[in-house]
């Protein structure tokens, strides 16, 4: 099969022309130990050699942040690394191996390669294993960010007979990521053929596995100008079988046929990567093997029901404490109102919730199309969002404390309330309450919610919008029930002095939530920035409060002036302070000695017979905090996690971390909390529910170690991909 990647469609050729115009040739090194360029540092690593004359080397590409390099088939732009060993002595061939790649996006083009440091293994076969050999390697590596650089390389290394290593461990780490035959990974690729879809012909491949799939990707290598893009994924309910439909990236040229085409298929699913070849045949018209109908029909309907249930359960999660304040105030304001006004108010709140979920869905679709990381609650990783939310919470709290009111114009208020101003507030206010409740609920996960979100984000835009709509309907179901039975609110006493007391009490959870978010902000942007925001919010609250009462107005104004002055003095310091850096050691959780998250370390420890307990958490995740304080802090659980042979590993997702994001997506998850237990009896991991319990944690630890009466049953249930 010829993979002449230089022959591309017009769009790709134009990109290559622009890349060529930007190329800056690096200096040719004189067999240096390393080659340093603006985007990467490149080294030749030497591994072990065996008695049969196979020596292992590795080309390490240490990328700078924001730079990337390319796979052997780079997609719509870029060039792969090139090596030439013709000048070597006692070397018959050198084979460059390619670890599993990832998709990247740049200026609307989709490329395939590596966005983090990578080692390309090189297998060197010696002509005479008993004689000295010299590897003389020359070539080029292409790295890109906003500009692209061709980095010329030249390395030399001696191979001494009888010296076998141990060699550089990094070579073996990336060698383990090189795709293997499907049978070696417990996978099967089949049913490869050309399917006629409404958008045109597409490649259809079905993969099956002994364990459930996470979020697999399919990379297709064919003779140009034919090229296939990212596949759409459809799973069976147990996620052990996935259908991948990869569309053409450009229309077929006249006279070019897909039938009979030999295609290279590389499937990447987390740590699993396989490759195979397939001769493509046309599928009969309308033949989808029953798979599409199953996934789009029963599978999607079942997932929508799961999303509805997950949204409903979200009302019962710990994060609803501040949301409960808004709900109770909304209910209290309706006391004594007419049933029609009550119904309209709660329908408006439910509409605000659903609309907010649609906004979240739109953001997910946009981020996914741009190739960015997507997930549930990731907006809490952004300091700007935290500052905005702290501001809104402060305004809501001061409003509940009676500090200010923002009335609508009389004509607009009458129109929104059907001519009944003052009865329960405006419909716009109810709508805003629902929208804000959604924002406050997003740092929480719930049973079934993670499954629904993971399914949606692995699909296309239509599925994302449908699932997020179902989530919004589930969260808004209590409002809809009150709207259906408005007599519940009508029986409450009319608003009066009792409501003023209630409003002041309900302001407390909102203020506590604002303080908690300031602590999260301090972890992300530094304590000085959090203090600055706190002072600004204090000044804002005091100024608003001073407007409503003549008693103590001068004192409040003085306090607010002092707070503003302090904030003004701290602002330059916060602006010039260095960004917060990750702690040297994982943060303290439940008094345990945690190790840093590292997927390679998981594999190494499990191979050594240890049990690894992985906890993905974040400062902004309230459900995570509940798990930590209720379950992980339990004396029995702590004793087991601190025992010999057990390694607790903490993955802190407070700040964006591509490695943690990729790890979650390998399980089909896009939110936290997430807990997995690995061991000799469970090398692929046992996934625990979002809400932990002492019994489930101890059971999983026993099962991963291969002990306990329920170990076999738990591992079997996990391998079937069922809900834990």
Strands 109-114 and 68-75: antiparallel
| pLDDT score of 294 | 37
| Tokens linked to 380 | 């809490």
CA distances from 223 to 16, 100, 194 (A): 18, 20, 16
What does the alpha-carbon distance between residue 617 and residue 286 come to, in Å, rounded to a whole number?
46
Asked if 618 contacts 653 with a C-beta cutoff of 8 angstroms, the reply is yes
| pLDDT score of 317 | 66
Q: Peptide bond preceding 225: is omega within 30 degrees of 0, i.e. cis?
A: yes
Domains and CATH numbers, the chain: 10-175 (2.60.40), 182-289 (2.60.40), 300-380+407-499 (no CATH), 595-719 (3.40.30.10)
Reference 217, options 722, 707, 518, 666; nearest CA is 666
Reference 70, options 38, 96, 32, 36; nearest CA is 96
Strands 611-617 and 646-652: parallel
Residues in the chain: 724
Using left for φ > 0, alpha for ψ between -120 and 50, and beta otherwise, residue 618 falls in beta
Reference 324, options 193, 467, 75, 508; nearest CA is 508
Task: Give pTM, 2 decimals.
Answer: 0.46
Strands 109-114 and 40-49: unpaired
What does the alpha-carbon distance between residue 426 and residue 420 come to, in Å, rounded to a whole number?
9
- Per DSSP, 592 falls in state -
| pLDDT score of 446 | 61
| pLDDT score of 485 | 79
| pLDDT score of 100 | 93
Helix pair angle (449-457, 461-475), 10° resolution: 160
Q: Peptide bond preceding 166: is omega within 30 degrees of 0, i.e. cis?
A: yes
DSSP string, 523-553: HHH-HHHHHHHHHHHHHHHHHHHHTT-STTH
| pLDDT score of 398 | 67
What does the alpha-carbon distance between residue 122 and residue 58 come to, in Å, rounded to a whole number?
5
Asked if 213 contacts 193 with a C-beta cutoff of 8 angstroms, the reply is no
| pLDDT score of 84 | 93
DSSP string, 260-329: T-EEEEEEEETTEEEEEEEE-EEPPTT--TTHHHHIIIIIHHHHHHHHHHHHHHHTTSTTHHHHHHHHHH
| pLDDT score of 656 | 77
Q: What is the mean pLDDT of each run of 10 residues along the chain (724 residues)?
A: 38 44 38 80 87 88 92 87 93 94 78 91 91 92 86 90 67 90 87 78 88 86 85 79 86 79 90 89 57 44 81 71 60 64 81 87 74 60 69 68 50 42 59 75 65 69 85 86 74 61 70 72 63 62 55 52 51 46 57 84 88 88 82 89 90 81 75 87 83 88 74 47 40
| pLDDT score of 361 | 84
Contacts of 383 (CB under 8 A, 6+ apart): 521, 524, 525, 529
Asked if 241 contacts 225 with a C-beta cutoff of 8 angstroms, the reply is no
Q: For the chain, report the end-to-end CA distance as a whole number of angstroms.
A: 44
SS3 content of the chain, % helix, strand, coil (to 5): 40, 25, 35
What does the alpha-carbon distance between residue 389 and residue 440 come to, in Å, rounded to a whole number?
9
């Amino acid at each position: 099969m010829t993979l002449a990647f230089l022959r591309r469609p017009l769009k790709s050729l134009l990109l290559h022309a622009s890349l060529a115009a930007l190329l800056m040739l690096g200096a040719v090194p004189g067999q240096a130990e390393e080659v340093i360029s603006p985007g990467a540092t490149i080294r030749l690593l030497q591994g072990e050699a065996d008695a049969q004359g196979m020596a292992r080397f590795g080309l390490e590409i240490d990328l700078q942040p924001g730079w990337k390099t390319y796979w052997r088939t780079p997609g719509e732009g870029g060039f792969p690394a090139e090596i030439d060993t013709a000048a070597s002595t006692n070397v018959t061939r050198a084979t460059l191996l390619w670890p599993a790649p990832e998709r990247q996006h740049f200026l609307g083009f989709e490329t395939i390669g590596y966005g983090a440091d990578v080692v390309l293994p090189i297998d060197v076969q010696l002509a005479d294993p008993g004689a000295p050999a010299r590897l003389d390697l020359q070539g080029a590596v292409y790295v890109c960010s906003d500009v692209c650089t061709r980095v010329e390389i030249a390395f030399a290394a001696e191979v001494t007979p009888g010296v076998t290593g141990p060699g550089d461990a990094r070579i073996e780490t990336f060698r383990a990521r090189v795709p293997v035959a499907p049978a070696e990974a417990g996978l099967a690729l089949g049913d490869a053929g050309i399917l006629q879809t409404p958008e045109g012909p597409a490649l259809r491949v079905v993969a099956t596995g002994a364990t459930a799939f996470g979020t697999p990707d399919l990379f297709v290598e064919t003779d140009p100008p034919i090229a296939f893009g990212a596949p759409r994924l459809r799973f069976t309910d147990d996620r052990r079988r996935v259908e991948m439909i990869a569309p053409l990236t450009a229309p077929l040229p006249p006279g070019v046929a897909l039938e009979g085409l030999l295609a290279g298929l590389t499937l990447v699913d987390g740590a699993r990567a396989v490759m195979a070849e397939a001769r493509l045949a046309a599928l009969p018209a309308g033949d989808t093997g029953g798979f599409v109908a199953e996934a789009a029909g029963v599978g999607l309907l079942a997932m929508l029901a799961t999303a509805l249930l997950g949204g409903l359960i979200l009302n019962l999660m710990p994060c609803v404490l501040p949301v409960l304040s808004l709900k109770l105030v909304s209910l209290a304001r309706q006391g004594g109102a007419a049933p029609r006004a009550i119904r309209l108010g709660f329908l408006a709140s439910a509409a605000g919730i659903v609309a907010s979920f649609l906004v979240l869905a739109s953001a997910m679709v946009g981020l996914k199309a741009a190739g960015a990381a997507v997930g549930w609650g990731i907006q809490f990783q952004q300091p700007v969002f935290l500052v905005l939310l702290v501001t809104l919470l402060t305004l809501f709290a001061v409003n509940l404390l009676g500090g200010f009111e923002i009335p609508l114009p009389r004509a607009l208020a009458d129109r929104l309330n059907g001519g009944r101003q003052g009865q329960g507030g405006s419909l716009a206010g109810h709508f805003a309450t629902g929208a804000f409740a959604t924002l406050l609920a997003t740092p929480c996960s719930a049973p079934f919610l993670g499954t629904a979100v993971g399914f949606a984000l692995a699909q296309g835009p239509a599925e994302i919008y449908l699932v997020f709509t179902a989530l919004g309907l589930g969260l808004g179901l209590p409002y809809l029930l009150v709207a259906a039975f408005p007599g519940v609110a009508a029986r409450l006493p009319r608003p009066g002095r009792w409501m003023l007391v209630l409003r002041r009490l309900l302001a407390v959870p909102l203020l506590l939530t604002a303080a908690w978010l300031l602590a999260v902000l301090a972890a992300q942007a530094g304590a000085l920035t959090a203090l600055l925001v706190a002072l600004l919010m204090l000044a804002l609250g005091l100024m608003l409060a001073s407007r409503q009462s003549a008693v103590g107005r001068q004192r409040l104004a003085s306090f607010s002036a002092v707070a503003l002055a302090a904030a003004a003095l701290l602002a330059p310091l916060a602006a010039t302070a260095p960004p917060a850096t990750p702690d040297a050691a994982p943060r303290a959780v439940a008094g345990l000695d945690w190790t840093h998250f590292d997927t390679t370390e998981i594999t190494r420890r499990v191979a050594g017979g240890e049990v690894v307990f992985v906890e993905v958490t974040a400062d902004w995740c309230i459900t995570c905090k509940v798990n930590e304080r209720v379950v992980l802090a339990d004396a029995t659980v702590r004793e087991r996690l601190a025992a010999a042979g057990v390694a607790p590993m903490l993955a802190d997702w407070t700040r964006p971390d591509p490695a943690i994001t990729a790890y979650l997506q390998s399980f089909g998850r896009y939110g936290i909390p997430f807990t997995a237990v690995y061991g000799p009896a469970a090398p692929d991991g046992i996934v625990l529910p979002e809400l932990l319990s002492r019994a489930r944690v101890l059971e999983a630890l026993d099962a991963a170690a291969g002990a306990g009466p329920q170990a076999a049953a738990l591992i079997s249930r996990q391998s079937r991909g069922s809900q834990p």
